[in-house]
């Protein structure tokens, strides 16, 4: 395991250079040294972005669950693999050891087989953050079924679309789920979906809330009695390196969701290697990623990456605000969490609250902090750094996507000096490019352009389920021989990358390209502002003008709106210039967000342009009710 950690910046550059000059040798060594294979590959990598076609570790045979579970049993069988922290702090946490995880995954795999699920079949998993979610994912992987996890906050319509798009045969769900003080009727949502899903032959139901539900005869069964009867021995299916491991849907800017397809071997190698180095995971650490397994962050950095490293990974069922705003920090203290990985939106929400929610708890176990999902603004970064990390835990600002499978840009903790709002340097093996609008690569330092990746990496998605052309069109058609991320980025004088946001978030005002992110950063620095979002709306003279939606902190709410508006524009003038001043500023109670915390600017754009008749499906939002409130007071 000697070369598994990156020790200093010089070594990072040395390894990076090797990974770029001899990518095949580099990844072959990682694959050889750190994983168990049933059969070795015949070819490390093959690629053609014009199709696009990418294969890693061709003809190798493996099962990812043997790497995530079986091989740990003789060295750390009694170590906690999954540490389950329930929604209600009064309910006991569960420590599931690697031995127990093995037994539970094998039983579940046998239940799936008995129910007729075969290698290559699609299984939809619609579960809350309970151990059965991770176990179902792993059980699918064990028998070679392709899992399609749908976040259990999605509506019945969104669920049905995803079930039908990839022809799932089975749904695994629960009677209900907990969210703070509320319970949600998950099974009822599934029942409604299945009215339009003829392909579903069976539904397995985990008992969680004990709510009374309807079981459809011949289709629905409680899971536990089936598990009780199942054998705890299961021989893992031997999979090809390029066999699909899972499908995960990600919303497109328009139209139906894209089912990103991930492979087995490349995905495993990259998620495991990034996990170890980016979180500096050590054997006795307790790692906690607060994402939901319904997102790629949960797939790669709650389940596969950590387990492939024999880590203890926390699964948290609850929410950051229940029973109060100290919940995250209470869990950190209780389980002596060493790595904590969360989203900027959660940080900003908690930073609004009184510091006593933080100071009540002993956070001295923390060694590394992480963020993911959106650009982190300076203010939130400093709050996280000062109050959670106590200025001693490096913050890894990790940039990546559902499509990339694993982290692509990130500091290496204790190695890469961090700068707030910069994701810093490309990870090992990741070859970035910034492109201008005409398709020319921007060379050198201090440039800004569209962020592309010019060489394959092991965990890249292989296709969009059922629509390879859309895969090509979306990611490979904009720039020849490049994967286009859809994001814009800057490279500074030392070569650090700062993600400026989606390029579709650029607004052209009087012929000037204005990114929404820097304007929002400027606004957010106003002491009365908690969060903001900027969109463009049609303007006779300027082409577009700027409309700001601003959430105030409590201290702002007692102040005169007119004064605040002036001060906010003053702030923008100072930071960016008068060109970026807002024509309209609306104070709002919240912003429409996706479940992973991304602001849905599409909806705000429509509100700003007074086109609120057709907002599309807003049921997948975290907070659909806020949309009504914003429309009511729109300027
Ligand atoms: C992991 C995940 C992907 C999009 C991506 C960016 C944004 C993610 C960061 C970020 C700035 C970051 N997958 N994004 N991480 N922007 N800094 N550290 O979030 O498919 O759901 O979203 O998220 O725009 O393209 S995702």
DSSP state for residue 391 in the 8-state scheme: T
State the distance from the centre of ligand 1 to the C-alpha of 374, rounded, in angstroms. 5
Task: Verify cis geometry, omega within 30 degrees of 0, for the bond prior to 557.
Answer: no
Task: Please provide the average confidence, as pLDDT, over all residues in the chain.
Answer: 94
What ranges make up the beta strands (E) of 503-597?
A: 506-509, 512-515, 529-539, 543-552, 584-587
Residue 249 DSSP SS3: strand
Ligand 1 atom closest to 397 (CA): 18
Q: What is the mean pLDDT of residues 560-564?
A: 92
Per-residue model confidence (pLDDT) at position 1: 37
Q: What is the mean pLDDT of residues 389-407?
A: 97
**Statement: residue 112 has pLDDT above 70:** yes
Every domain range in the chain assigned CATH 3.30.300.30: 506-632
Q: Which fold has domain 506-632?
A: GMP Synthetase; Chain A, domain 3 (3.30.300)
Nearest residue (by CA) to ligand 1, atom 4, is 401
Every domain range in the chain assigned CATH 3.40.50.12780: 2-453
DSSP state for residue 263 in the 8-state scheme: E
Per-residue model confidence (pLDDT) at position 519: 86
What span, in angstroms and rounded, lies between the C-alpha atoms of 393 and 413? 8
**Statement: residue 178 has pLDDT above 70:** yes
Per-residue model confidence (pLDDT) at position 503: 77
- 314-358 tens-digit pLDDT: 999 999 999 999 999 999 999 999 999 999 889 988 998 999 999
**Statement: residue 434 has pLDDT above 50:** yes
**Residue to mutate, 289, 373, 405, 496, ligand 1, most ligand atoms under 8 Å from C-beta:** 373
Q: What is the mean pLDDT of residues 456-461?
A: 98
- 573-607 tens-digit pLDDT: 887 777 789 999 999 999 999 877 788 888 999 99
Per-residue model confidence (pLDDT) at position 504: 67
Q: What is the mean pLDDT of residues 3-22?
A: 93
What band does 2 get if pLDDT is binned at 50, 70 and 90? very low
Residue 17 DSSP SS3: helix
Nearest residue (by CA) to ligand 1, atom 17, is 375
**Residue to mutate, 151, 300, 374, ligand 1, most ligand atoms under 8 Å from C-beta:** 374
Per-residue model confidence (pLDDT) at position 590: 94
Ligand 1 first shell, C-beta below 6 A: 250, 296-297, 372-375, 397-402, 423, 485-487, 499, 502, 596
Per-residue model confidence (pLDDT) at position 345: 84
**Statement: residue 134 has pLDDT above 50:** yes
**Statement: residue 632 has pLDDT above 80:** yes
Token pair belonging to 515: 């990114």
What band does 41 get if pLDDT is binned at 50, 70 and 90? very high
What span, in angstroms and rounded, lies between the C-alpha atoms of 586 and 581? 14
Per-residue model confidence (pLDDT) at position 499: 93
Is residue 594 within 8 Å of 345, Cβ to Cβ?
Answer: no
Per-residue model confidence (pLDDT) at position 288: 98
What band does 255 get if pLDDT is binned at 50, 70 and 90? low
DSSP state for residue 424 in the 8-state scheme: B
Report the chain's C-alpha Rg in angstroms. Answer: 24
Which tops the pLDDT comparison, 67 or 377? Answer: 67
Instruction: State the residue for tokens 């990985």.
Output: 341
What band does 254 get if pLDDT is binned at 50, 70 and 90? low
Which tops the pLDDT comparison, 374 or 396? Answer: 396
**Statement: residue 290 has pLDDT above 70:** yes
Which residues, 6 or more positions from 259, have their beta carbon under 8 angstroms from its beta carbon?
148, 162, 165, 166, 247, 248, 249, 464, 465, 466
Nearest residue (by CA) to ligand 1, atom 18, is 399
Instruction: State the residue for tokens 């705890």.
Output: 232
Q: Does domain 2-453 have CATH number 3.30.420.40?
A: no
Per-residue model confidence (pLDDT) at position 617: 76
Nearest residue (by CA) to ligand 1, atom 8, is 373
Per-residue model confidence (pLDDT) at position 514: 73
pTM comes to 0.86
Per-residue model confidence (pLDDT) at position 252: 60
- 496-546 tens-digit pLDDT: 999 987 776 667 776 666 778 778 888 998 999 999 999 999 887 777 889
What band does 559 get if pLDDT is binned at 50, 70 and 90? confident
Per-residue model confidence (pLDDT) at position 195: 98
What band does 243 get if pLDDT is binned at 50, 70 and 90? very high
Per-residue model confidence (pLDDT) at position 516: 82
Instruction: State the residue for tokens 């619609």.
Output: 126
Largest CA distance in the chain: 72
**Statement: residue 387 has pLDDT above 70:** yes
Per-residue model confidence (pLDDT) at position 511: 64
């Amino acid at each position: 395991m000697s070369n598994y950690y990156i020790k200093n910046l010089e070594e990072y550059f040395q390894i990076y250079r090797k990974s770029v000059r001899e990518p095949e040798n580099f990844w072959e060594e990682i694959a050889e040294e750190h994983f168990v294979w049933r059969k070795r590959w015949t070819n490390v990598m093959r690629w053609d972005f014009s199709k696009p076609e990418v294969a890693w570790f061709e003809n190798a045979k493996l099962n990812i669950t043997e790497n995530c579970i079986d091989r740990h049993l003789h060295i750390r069988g009694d170590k906690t693999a999954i540490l389950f922290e329930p929604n209600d702090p009064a309910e006991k946490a569960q420590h599931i050891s690697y031995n127990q995880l093995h037994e539970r995954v094998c039983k579940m795999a046998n239940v799936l087989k008995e129910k007729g699920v075969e290698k290559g079949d699609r299984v939809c998993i619609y579960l809350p953050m309970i151990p059965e979610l991770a176990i179902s994912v792993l059980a699918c992987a064990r028998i070679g079924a392709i899992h399609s996890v749908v976040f259990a906050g999605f509506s019945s319509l969104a669920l049905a679309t995803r079930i039908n798009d990839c022809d799932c045969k089975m749904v695994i769900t629960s009677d209900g789920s907990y969210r703070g003080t509320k319970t949600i009727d998950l099974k009822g949502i599934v029942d409604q979906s299945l009215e339009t899903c003829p392909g579903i032959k069976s539904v397995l139901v985990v008992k969680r809330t004990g709510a009374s539900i309807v079981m459809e005869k011949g289709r629905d069964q409680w899971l536990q009695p089936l598990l009780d009867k199942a054998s705890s021995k299961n021989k893992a299916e031997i999979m090809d390196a390029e066999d699909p491991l899972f499908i995960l849907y990600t919303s497109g800017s328009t139209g139906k969701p894209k089912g990103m397809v991930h492979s087995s071997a490349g995905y495993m190698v990259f998620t495991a290697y990034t996990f170890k180095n980016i979180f500096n995971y050590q054997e006795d650490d307790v790692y906690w990623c607060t994402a939901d397994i319904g997102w790629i962050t949960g797939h790669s950095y709650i389940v596969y990456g950590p387990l492939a490293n024999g880590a203890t990974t926390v699964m948290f069922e609850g929410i950051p605000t229940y029973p109060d705003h100290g919940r995250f920090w209470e869990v950190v203290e209780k389980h002596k969490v060493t790595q904590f990985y969360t989203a900027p939106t959660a940080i900003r929400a908690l930073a609004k609250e009184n510091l006593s929610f933080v100071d009540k708890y002993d956070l001295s176990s923390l060694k590394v902090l992480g963020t993911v999902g959106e650009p982190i603004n300076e203010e939130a970064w400093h709050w996280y750094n000062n109050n959670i990390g106590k200025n001693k835990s490096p913050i890894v600002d990790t940039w990546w996507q559902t499509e990339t499978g694993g982290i692509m840009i990130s500091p290496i903790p204790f190695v890469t000096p961090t700068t707030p709002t910069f994701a810093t340097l490309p990870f090992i093996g990741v070859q970035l490019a910034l492109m201008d609008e005409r398709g020319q690569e921007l060379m050198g330092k201090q440039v800004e352009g569209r962020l592309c990746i010019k060489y394959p990496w092991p965990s890249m998605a292989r296709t969009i389920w059922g629509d390879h052309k859309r895969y090509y069109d979306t990611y490979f058609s904009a720039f020849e021989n490049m994967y286009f991320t859809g994001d814009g980025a800057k490279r500074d004088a030392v070569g650090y990358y700062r993600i400026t946001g989606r390029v579709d978030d650029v607004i052209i005002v009087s012929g000037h390209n204005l990114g929404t992110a820097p304007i929002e950063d400027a606004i957010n620095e106003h002491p009365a502002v908690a969060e903001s979002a900027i969109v463009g709306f049609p303007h006779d003279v300027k082409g577009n003008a700027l409309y700001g939606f601003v959430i105030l902190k409590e201290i702002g709410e007692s102040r005169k709106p007119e004064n605040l508006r002036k001060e906010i524009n003053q702030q923008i003038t100072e930071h960016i210039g008068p060109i970026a001043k807002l024509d309209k500023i609306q104070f709002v109670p919240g912003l429409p967000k996706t479940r992973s915390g991304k602001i849905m600017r599409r909806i705000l754009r429509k509100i700003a342009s007074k086109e609120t008749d057709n907002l599309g499906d807003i049921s997948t939002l975290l907070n659909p009710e806020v949309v009504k409130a914003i429309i009511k007071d729109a300027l």
